[in-house]
A and B are shown apart, each in its own frame.
Chain A
Amino acid sequence: MNGAADMGGMHGFGPVEPEPNEPVFHADWEKKAFALNIAIGCAGIWNLDAFRFERESISPPEYLNRSYYGLWVVTLERMMLKYGVATPEEIAAGRPLAPPKKTPRPVTADQVATMIRHGSPYDRPAPSPALFKVGDRVRTKNNHPTTHTRLPRYARGRVGEVVRIVGCHVFPDSHSQNIGEDPHWLYTVRFDGRELWGEDADPSVRVAIEAWEPYLEPL
């Protein structure tokens, strides 16, 4: 979707301001917001792409005025409602008003390290050979789905070069909609900065993105 999350190339945000000796978290609630999201994310109720879709669905003014973990909290609330983990009344009350439908099996402390070490690989067996090879010139499609996609607006309808065949990966556009993993070939595609930003752009800049095969057409 073309939400506030898709901000590559926008102007007006001001300079980047690194914080010297920045701590990992800036407040205790941030620690909770982080850990809650990771722990519940591993409970198998929703997948990471569905979570990302919900986060970018937050209205642009709210998205741009929330802090980073503030967005995580708002998204978690919305996901709990969407997936029937809690009711609006429970969120308002700040406590459960009824037992859960199914008995959950939470991640336990002794499972955490293994869970992190394992991660969640996104590569899958390929159902068919890759359409493109390294060195091919491709054009990204100019699509504007209202659902989740990982093709940023600034890279749509642009010509680039395949520089890496990554493998066959879970397709977030499908996965986020809970219609299966729908794996597709994934490529690293590199663009000249002038192709993305116009002929006045710095000629020494190149930008690479990861693009699934359905995003691309041959030239």
Chain B
Amino acid sequence: MNGAHDMGGMHGFGPVEPEPNEPVFHGEWEKRAFALTLAMGMPGGWNIDMSRFARENRPPGDYLSMTYYQIWLAGLIDLMKERGLVSDDEIAAGHSLRPAKPVKRVLSPADVAQTLHRGGPTARETNSKAAFAAGDKVRAKVINPLTHTRLPRYVRGRVGVIESVRGCHVFPDSNSQGLGEDPRWLYTVKFDGRELWGADTDPTLSVSIDAWEPYLVRA
């Protein structure tokens, strides 16, 4: 979706302001928001692409006014509500008001280290052949889906070069909608800065993105 999260190339946000000696979390609630989100992945049963879509799928004015972990919490709440794990009245009350819906598994303290260690690999075996090879010229398609996509607006319609073939990976556009993993070939595509931002752009700039095969056509 063309939401507020897709902000590559936007102006007006001001300078980047690094914080000296920045702590990992900026408040106790951030720790809880972070841990809750990770811990609920197992009982909730959603995948990473669904949780990304849940975060970006909110009114742009809200998105841009929220802090990072506020957006995480809002995404978590939406995911849980969609699955009937919690409801608005419970969130308002700050308590459980009815028996829990049964779930497959709850993350136990003993599982944590192993779960993190395993991570979430997205590479998949395939019998298909990659359509493109390193050095090929490709054009990113002009697409504007209302659903989740990983092709940012600023590269759509632009021509780049395949830098490397990364293997076959879970396709977020499908996976985020519960349509299965639908693995596709993934490429790193390099764009000249002038192709993205115009002839006046710093000629030393290039930008590479990771793009799944359905995003690309041969140029």
Check if A and B associate: yes
Interface residues, chain A, CB within 8 Å of chain B?
1-4, 7, 9-14, 56-61, 63-65, 141-144, 146, 153, 157-158, 195-201
Q: B157 to A157, Cβ gap below 8 A?
A: yes
Q: B141 to A65, Cβ gap below 8 A?
A: no
Q: A141 to B1, Cβ gap below 8 A?
A: no
Q: Nearest Cβ distance between residue A23 and chain B, in whole angstroms? A: 24
Which residues of chain B come closer than 8 Å to A56, judged between CB atoms? 12
Q: Show 18 A/B contacts (Cβ-Cβ < 8 Å), sorted by A.
A: A2-B10, A3-B12, A4-B12, A10-B60, A11-B1, A11-B3, A12-B2, A12-B58, A57-B12, A60-B7, A63-B12, A64-B4, A64-B65, A141-B199, A142-B158, A142-B196, A197-B144, A199-B142
Which residues of chain A come closer than 8 Å to B19, judged between CB atoms? none
Q: A60 to B142, Cβ gap below 8 A?
A: no
Query: With A10-B2, A11-B3, A61-B61 in contact, is A144–B12 under 8 Å at CB?
Result: no
Which 4 pairs, one residue from A and one from B, show the smallest C-beta to C-beta distance? A64-B61, A61-B64, A143-B198, A1-B11
Task: Output the nearest chain B residue to A4 by Cβ-Cβ distance.
Answer: B12
CA distance A143 to B144 in the complex (A): 20
Which residues of chain B come closer than 8 Å to A60, judged between CB atoms? 4, 7, 10, 12-13, 64
Which residues of chain B come closer than 8 Å to A11, judged between CB atoms? 1-3, 146
Which residues of chain B come closer than 8 Å to A195, judged between CB atoms? 142
Q: B13 to A59, Cβ gap below 8 A?
A: yes
Knowing that A4-B10, A141-B199 are A-B contacts, what are 12 other residue pairs whose CB atoms are under 8 Å apart, sorted by A's residue number? Answer: A2-B11, A3-B11, A9-B144, A11-B1, A13-B59, A13-B60, A60-B12, A61-B61, A61-B64, A63-B12, A143-B199, A197-B144
Q: A153 to B61, Cβ gap below 8 A?
A: no
B57 within 8 A of A: yes
Please tell me which one of the listed residues A57, A64, A143 contacts residue B60 in the complex, with CB atoms under 8 A apart: A64
B25 within 8 A of A: no
Bits for B3-31, please: 1 = Cβ < 8 Å to A, else 0: 11001011111100000000000000000
Q: A1 to B12, Cβ gap below 8 A?
A: yes
CA distance A7 to B57 in the complex (A): 16
CA distance A146 to B10 in the complex (A): 9
Which residues of chain A come closer than 8 Å to B200, judged between CB atoms? 143
Task: Output the nearest chain A residue to B157 by Cβ-Cβ distance.
Answer: A157
CA distance A158 to B144 in the complex (A): 15
